[in-house]
Amino acid sequence: MKYIAKVRQVLRKDIHKLATIEDGEVKVIGPLPLPDRVEIELDGSETEPCKMYRYTEDDEFCGDTWHETFEYALDQAAFEYGLKREDFEPVNDA
């Protein structure tokens, strides 16, 4: 199951960056694009781990994060974009 929401505002523009590791150190290359939509993909139930993906309007990748549960992913979406659970539409991606 997947849940998709449109991003209306970006509250934290400083979080997601493109980086590499050089000589054992993280080297930031630059910011990732700001997203227009967020997708939370469940591999199991809402109490199992899931991933949140971010994309631009043109489907350009803007980062992903792992979350312990669906609720934690929703909390992160609220923190970054002010999104609420009711902003997400369920999509059966099977």
Q: Give residue-wise pLDDT tens across range 26-82.
A: 999 998 999 999 999 998 899 999 999 999 999 999 999 999 999 999 999 999 999
Q: Residue 56 has what pLDDT?
A: 96
Residue 92 has what pLDDT?
84
pLDDT one-digit tens code per residue, 14-38: 888 999 999 999 999 998 999 999 9
Give me 12's structure tokens: 């934290």
Domain ranges, ordered by start, for the chain? 2-91
CB atoms within 10 A of CB 76: 18
- pTM of the entire predicted model: 0.88
Alpha helices in 12-69 (DSSP H): none
Beta carbons within 8 Å of 40's beta carbon, 6+ residues apart: 2, 3, 50, 51, 52, 53, 67, 70, 73, 74, 77, 88
